[in-house]
Amino acid sequence: MNPQEINEKVEKDIKKNIQVCSKSVNKNVFWSLVLCTLYGMADNLWSGTVFVAYLKLINGGENAAVGYVEGANGLSGLFTALPIGYLADKYPRSRIIKFGGVALILTALAHSSVMFYVGNEVPEDPDKVDFSLYLFLGVMTLWGAAGGVVNGPVQALYADSTPEGERTQYYVYLFASYMLSSCVGPLLSIFLFLYWGDDWSIEDLKNVTLVGMGLEVVAAFTMFFFDDKNALKERGEEEEEEKDEKDEKVGEDEEEVEENEPLLELISPEAEKLKQRRAWIPYYMFASDLIVSLGSGMTVKFFPVFFKDDCELSPVSVQTIYLIVPLLMVASSQIASGLSKVFGRVQTILLVKALGLSFLYAIIFKVDYLKHEPFLLIPLYVLRTALMNSTYPMQESILMDFVPKKERARWKSLESVSQFGWCGSAVLGGLLADRFDYTFTFLITAIVQSVGTLMCVVLIPLVPRSEKSLAEDRKSEALARKSKGSRGSLSEPLLGGEDEEADSSRMSGVV
């Protein structure tokens, strides 16, 4: 083979590999992972330890100020979440996502402007301090609305672009992208603190936050590349198009079969009752998540200042903790995902969360000793946080398996309602921390989270232990209906209507 033939063969192989890769990677999935990576970097650079310490400094060391700002963020999310979700279900999701990208850019610019107004020193004028707090309340209100698009329409379109039966693994990818990027944020802040000085000065905190604002703008630009055309076709959609023509001749006597109805439900009264109970799965998931979020909100923003004030750790030490946590979250989510294939998703969620709560209780009851022994306290905190958050992929896959496609954006937007509870409880957490101490707030968190976790027990008989078995049931159902439909039976329900469009996301073609 001469050199020219070799070059032609290499070029042909390259083109073939490019075509294979372009077909195997869904563009919405790709841009979702990129967005989560950049958004996670920015969010974890400024919104946690850095901005909390900044707010506390300019407001005279009051924890309540932190709670008020977080409360404004959550209240905004509460009032904008459902409208955003409704619009994303009614109109193309990618269009709403693009508007969200514009909102994210404007919000980052507004936040930066307020920080420049405050300056590099703690304001001595009480009126300027109060006015600065009001400005930050307004800015965090904008963050609540802009962030609702990332948590709602973006993740709804991501779910539309992932195949059923493999959705947990796809959410592990999403979770890993966010968590690994969460390491980059604290790591970058460590370098910035070392460069500007390893102390809690207002100027250093401001500069680190401004770098985070720049990353927010970069993340926002990725939101202009989403496209509804790249969502996967639903199982039976092509068959439905053919049946629509036949149904016009038959009439409207066919009864529609609702979303997520297994094959057995067509013939078994017991299975029909199971279907009715399964319709409540999203509500149980939401209620459990809301209660756990209420507990989390009381302490998440105050653990950094607990390390700073009670344990007397430096900025680099605190940020190192939040560098390690995401790595363990990713590892824990992979292990939990593997366990779910053996024990079931709900069973694994209960097991992992129970273990995480046990570490939190250990911190609470031994805090007087542990706060003087950071080498014991930090591992307990890191393990607790990693385990409590590692169940996210399983929870999201369960929710998306039992929520119709046409309602996914609204259900994802309901997370902003949980966020409001999270931020609302942050107000209470700040007041409790000022009135009592951080340990008392941690105890309330542990009790509330225990209640929320126990609510998942009711899901054990409703959610199949095998994730793929649900997909197989629906595939069998589609084949059975197609077969019966071809015989012209009017007594059997046909695939039809918008509800069936919301069935599982079976891949029929990927761009």
Alpha carbons 134 and 145: distance in angstroms, whole number: 17
Side-chain half-sphere CA neighbours of 422 within 13 A: 22
Structure tokens at 205: 């905190």
pLDDT for the residue 182: 77
Is residue 346 predicted with pLDDT exceeding 90?
yes
pLDDT for the residue 81: 76
Mean pLDDT of 5-34: 61
Dihedral angle sign, alpha carbons of residues 125, 131, 134, 140: negative
User: What is residue 242's three-state secondary structure?
Assistant: helix
Nearest in space to 95 (alpha carbons), one of 149, 38, 59? 149
- Burial class for 311, CB neighbours closer than 10 Å (0-12, 13-18, 19+): middle
Give the pLDDT band of residue 437 (cuts 50, 70, 90): confident
Give the pLDDT band of residue 451 (cuts 50, 70, 90): very high
Is residue 363 predicted with pLDDT exceeding 90?
yes
Could you write out the three-class secondary structure of 178-217?
HHHHHHHHHHHHHHHHHHHCCCCCHHHHHHHHHHHHHHHH
Verdict on whether the full-model pTM lies above 0.85 = no
Mean pLDDT of 406-410: 77
Is residue 347 predicted with pLDDT exceeding 90?
yes
Side-chain half-sphere CA neighbours of 265 within 13 A: 19
Which backbone phi and psi does 366 adopt, to 5 degrees?
A: -125, 25
Amino acid (1-letter code) at residue 39: Y
Yes or no: say if 257 and 404 are a contact pair by the CB < 8 Å rule.
Answer: no
Nearest in space to 114 (alpha carbons), one of 147, 150, 144, 143? 143
Alpha carbons 320 and 317: distance in angstroms, whole number: 5
Amino acid (1-letter code) at residue 18: I
* Lowest-confidence segment of 292-301, 355-364, 405-414, 496-505 by average pLDDT: 496-505
Distance of CA 25 to the CA centre of its chain: 21
Over residues 154-201, the pLDDT tens digits come to 988 998 888 877 777 888 888 788 777 878 888 888 888 888 877 888
Is residue 334 predicted with pLDDT exceeding 60?
yes
Mean pLDDT of 83-102: 89
Give the pLDDT band of residue 424 (cuts 50, 70, 90): low
Domain 22-231+276-459: assigned CATH number: 1.20.1250.20
Percent of the chain with pLDDT over 90: 23
Give the pLDDT band of residue 136 (cuts 50, 70, 90): very high
* Lowest-confidence segment of 272-286, 324-338, 454-468, 470-484 by average pLDDT: 470-484
Q: Whole-number mean pLDDT of the chain?
A: 77
- Estimate the share of the chain in helix, then strand, then coil, as percent rounded to the nearest 5: 80, 0, 20
**Which of 399 and 424 is assigned the larger pLDDT?**
399
Which backbone phi and psi does 475 adopt, to 5 degrees?
A: -65, -45
Mean pLDDT of 395-402: 84
Structure tokens at 503: 């069935």
- Burial class for 466, CB neighbours closer than 10 Å (0-12, 13-18, 19+): middle
Give the pLDDT band of residue 485 (cuts 50, 70, 90): low
Yes or no: say if 222 and 97 are a contact pair by the CB < 8 Å rule.
Answer: no
Nearest in space to 411 (alpha carbons), one of 154, 152, 170? 152
- What's the residue count for the chain? 511
Alpha carbons 21 and 7: distance in angstroms, whole number: 21
